[in-house]
Amino acid sequence: MMRKDIYEGVQVYVNQEIRPNYAEIGRQYSADYRTVKSAYEKGLSVQNGTVIQNKQSSRPSKLDSFKPIIEEKLALGCSAKAIFKFIEKKGFDGKYTIVREFCKMHKAEKIKQATIRVTHQSALSGQVDWKEEMKLIRKYNKAII
């Protein structure tokens, strides 16, 4: 993800077709020179109409054929280790870590979906902490006994 302020700052140089001093602009924006350089190169590619491809390869994952089984087992509440042992018997030749990361990501999505934010209007609701009151009550009860 690129910082928008840096990208907009180097657009002046892109429009005038001037190669900027990346280090100097980096100091102005409190950023690394490589961040400035990538913003400048992105600006050039947008101006020229070329698209910079991500450097990630598009090879398939070892988990692709096992994902339906994993999702089914996660729905039943199985642990990542149990799922790994199960799919290993089915012919999975990968490592435990990719199964664990997939399970972690899948569970995080479900937790994110289940989160409900509760908001209150000011002066219509309040919060009471009874901790201090309970200390006084216990102290009073001990004094009576």
Flag whether 144 is in a domain: no
Q: Each residue of 94-109: pLDDT tens digit?
A: 999 999 999 998 877 7
Model-wide pTM > 0.75: no
Flag whether 33 is in a domain: yes
**Has residue 143 got a pLDDT over 80?**
no
Confidence of residue 128 (pLDDT cuts 50, 70, 90): low
Domain holding 82, by residue range, is: 64-114
Total structural domains in the chain?
2
Flag whether 76 is in a domain: yes
- Asked whether residue 76 falls in the same domain as residue 44, the answer is no
- Asked whether residue 94 falls in the same domain as residue 68, the answer is yes
- Asked whether residue 97 falls in the same domain as residue 69, the answer is yes
Burial of 10 (0-12, 13-18, 19+ CB in 10 A): buried
Flag whether 22 is in a domain: yes
Flag whether 134 is in a domain: no
Flag whether 103 is in a domain: yes
**Has residue 90 got a pLDDT over 80?**
yes
Flag whether 140 is in a domain: no
Query: Measured in whole angstroms, how far is the alpha carbon of residue 48 from the centre of its chain?
Result: 32
Query: Which pLDDT value is given to residue 55?
Result: 59
Q: Each residue of 20-72: pLDDT tens digit?
A: 999 999 999 999 999 999 999 988 888 777 655 555 667 888 999 999 999 99
Query: Measured in whole angstroms, how far is the alpha carbon of residue 34 from the centre of its chain?
Result: 23
Alpha-carbon gap, residue 16 to 11, rounded angstroms: 8
Query: Which pLDDT value is given to residue 81?
Result: 95
Flag whether 106 is in a domain: yes
Neighbours of 144 (CB within 10 A): 5
